[in-house]
A and B are shown apart, each in its own frame.
Chain A
Amino acid sequence: MASIIDIKDECALQVRDFEFTYKGADAPSLKKVTMPIAKNSITALIGPSGCGKTTLLRAFNRMHDLYPGNAYKGEIEFEGRNILDPKEDLIHLRTKIGMIFQKPTAFPMSIFDNVAYGMRLQGIKNKTELNDRVEKALKDAAIWKEVSDRLKNDANGLSGGQQQRLCIARAIAVEPEVLLFDEPTSALDPISTQGIEKLVIELKEKVSIIIVTHNMQQAARVSDYTGFMYLGELIELGHTEELFVTPKEKLTQEYITGKFG
């Protein structure tokens, strides 16, 4: 039986009995996942590859809908409604729940246009407003100093770490409530990784963060809560220190001590 702590603080998301089945699959990839996501804190998802952590993450902004035939069951509550409702406005949802990917995904356009992209999609055309908000997003993403003199340059000229911070700036520019990080440092060197981790911690003042990572040290360094997943089930969710020091489940203990994974 899973061991899920009760979160006393306000929750950004509530996952209840969530099941997810990929197109054509016989069995669901996620089984009866129930999980609270605390507001203005960082929740890390860990577990061996194939455990379903990225699948769960991509359900929060309904990324799975891009590929027809996948099936959701259960409930994910966000802002008082079930976002798995087929009538959910995905465009609106995705501006409220942003995402950062495994690799930097700078669009083939200038640095400025990359950050302004999400705002322009929402119809913001006012130049001053765009300028101000781009600057603020870049500052919040701790990359303003490096790029302020070359905003018109192609974003693909930046280094990997810079590009990833640019993508974070792009995501926070539309002022989301939740940010999903899908192994955001897996393509980066240790120094850039450190920078991104620092940034993620700073960001939790403004947004609630869920981060999938294959790196247990990273989860321990950045997160407030950690969820351990195995074979499509959430085995344990707890305060990060407690989960790593005194895990309640035998499977969690075996995983964090390196017995498998």
Chain B
Amino acid sequence: MIDKIFSNLTRFSALLILVIVAWIFVELYNQSLEAIHAFGFDFITKDEWAPNLEKFGAYSAIFGSVASTFLAMLFAIPVAIGVAIFLSEIAHDKIKGFFGVSVELLAAIPSVIYGMWGLFYFVPIIRDLFGGMGIGLLSAGIVLSIMILPFMAAVTRDAMNTTPDILKESAYALGGTQWDVIKDVIIPYARAGIIGSIILALGRAIGETMAVTFVMGNVHKLPKSITDPATSIPVTLANEFAEADGSLYFSSLFELALILLVMSFVVISIAKFYFLRKERRGV
């Protein structure tokens, strides 16, 4: 009797997560309907965002999300791979432990703190170097890359560490250098894991709100250069949701949220199911 209740309780809890996720999609879709009917595809192709005129086009926000994420990836990927190589192949045990734990703890620091640091310490540097306000796409990309770096480095290192020692030793036994072993054995062996880790980090970066909200500017206009202020989907939501009025305005924001959710769901799914499926070859 208690056995039955307990097992049903666990099953109910497990199913709840599916219900919530489905509900999130359905609810966001329902809330977006008004905007979908009003603008159709124009919503994602037009960049006019004028709440006072009840005109909403998300192109600049989508563009900003993609562009800031792209910039972040551009900066973060080489450094993260470098850090991962350092952690898995170069550093000696003590340094490895210290750096490894630092990287993991830094990945745990709330993104709002990265954003705050970016606003007070990094934006002025960009302002001095490039002129303008300092707030904009470039700052957002760099702050985002710094925020995502520890996570990306940690998961890339984990992927590299799946390479069996004996395989690496075989390459050393043929007279390979560390770099030979890295490029010929570790990277080919762990390729799927490394790509998956990077895409997973991308999936996180695209939905990241607080690291960029401080430094992006929330301007619904296509930036002419990378130092211009811009906006992204999360930045728009963070800045406007609490203050929106009018049902069409709200509906448009919900459609933005839905687009963001679908984008990150797709990216994360590709990473998880295509690249990070846990099937390991023998050896």
Contacts and interface: CB of A to CB of B under 8 A. Distances in A.
A and B touch in the complex (CB under 8 A): yes
Interface in A234-252: none
A167 B172 contact: no
Given A101-B166, A156-B281, A61 B173 contact: yes
Contact of A118 (B92, B166, B168, B175): B175
Interface string B240-283: 00000000000000000000000000000000000000000111
A23 B61 CA distance: 56
A102 interface: yes
Residue with the greatest number of chain B CB neighbours at <10 A, chosen from A69, A94, A167: A94
Contacts of A105: 164, 166-167, 169-170, 283
Contacts, number: 73
A101 B174 contact: no
A259 interface: no
Interface in B171-188: 171-177, 180, 184-185, 188
B173 A99 contact: yes
B184 to A, nearest CB: 7
A171 B176 CA distance: 13
Contact of B166 (A61, A95, A102): A102
Interface residues of B, number: 24
A95 B175 contact: yes
A95 B175 CA distance: 5
B189 interface: yes
A149 B185 CA distance: 25
A122 interface: yes
Nearest to A154: B281
B174 A109 contact: no
Interface in A91-109: 91-92, 94-95, 98-99, 101-109
Contacts of B93: 68-69
21 contacts: A63-B169, A66-B168, A68-B92, A90-B175, A91-B177, A92-B175, A95-B174, A103-B283, A107-B167, A107-B188, A108-B185, A108-B191, A109-B184, A117-B184, A118-B174, A121-B174, A121-B176, A167-B170, A170-B174, A171-B174, A174-B175
5 smallest CB-CB distances across A and B, nearest first, come from A105-B170, A99-B173, A118-B174, A108-B188, A95-B175
Given A107-B184, A121-B180, A156-B281, 14 more contacts: A68-B93, A69-B92, A91-B177, A92-B175, A94-B172, A99-B170, A101-B170, A103-B283, A105-B170, A107-B170, A108-B185, A109-B184, A117-B171, A121-B175
Interface of A: 61, 63, 66, 68-69, 90-92, 94-95, 98-99, 101-109, 117-118, 121-122, 156, 167, 170-171, 174
